[in-house]
Amino acid sequence: MAKREYHLTRHCVGEGCHDVQIYTYHTQKDYHDALRRYANQPYHCPRHEPENLQPNSPPRHIIITCEHPDAKLFPNIQDGHYWSDGSGFTFGPGFNAEAEDFPIGAKIHIDISIELPSVDTEH
Ligand SMILES: [Zn+2]
């Protein structure tokens, strides 16, 4: 006999977006835990996440700080050095960094700006 599965479908909240995520759980408990976990977290597909860049996006300045983990947010995490983006290892185009290699309080500054071509180059 096939095992029962529980499916949870999340629809992107972006206007007019049809993107969905479908999760499969093998126990009713896992399914209900997921319902609770996602209750106050609307799903945004990559295009509708706040981080998504568009041609008209304004410049952004992002700072990632080396810090100790917040024991309240991460009660089961080992003490040590972590980046403020929630990981011990961070990366992006052209760089990667282990938090343990940096002192607490070190900051990585990342600037993002869009430069569009000044002439029509699509022909
Ligand atoms: Zn979307």
DSSP state of 94: T
Dist. CA 79 → ligand 1 center (Å): 36
To the nearest whole percent, how much of the chain has pLDDT over 90? 76
Q: Helix (H, G, I), strand (E, B), or coil: what is residue 96?
A: strand
- List the domain boundaries for the chain: 6-48, 60-112
Q: What per-residue confidence (pLDDT) applies to 1?
A: 64
Amino acid identity of 86?
G
Dist. CA 53 → ligand 1 center (Å): 13
Residue 109 phi, psi (nearest 5)? -100, 130
User: Which pTM was predicted?
Assistant: 0.66
Per residue in 26-84, pLDDT (tens digit) is 999 999 999 999 999 999 999 999 999 999 999 999 999 999 987 777 777 777 899 99
Sheet holding 107-112, edge to edge: 82-83, 60-67, 107-112
Q: What per-residue confidence (pLDDT) applies to 6?
A: 96
Dist. CA 78 → ligand 1 center (Å): 35
Dist. CA 35 → ligand 1 center (Å): 20
Dist. CA 49 → ligand 1 center (Å): 8
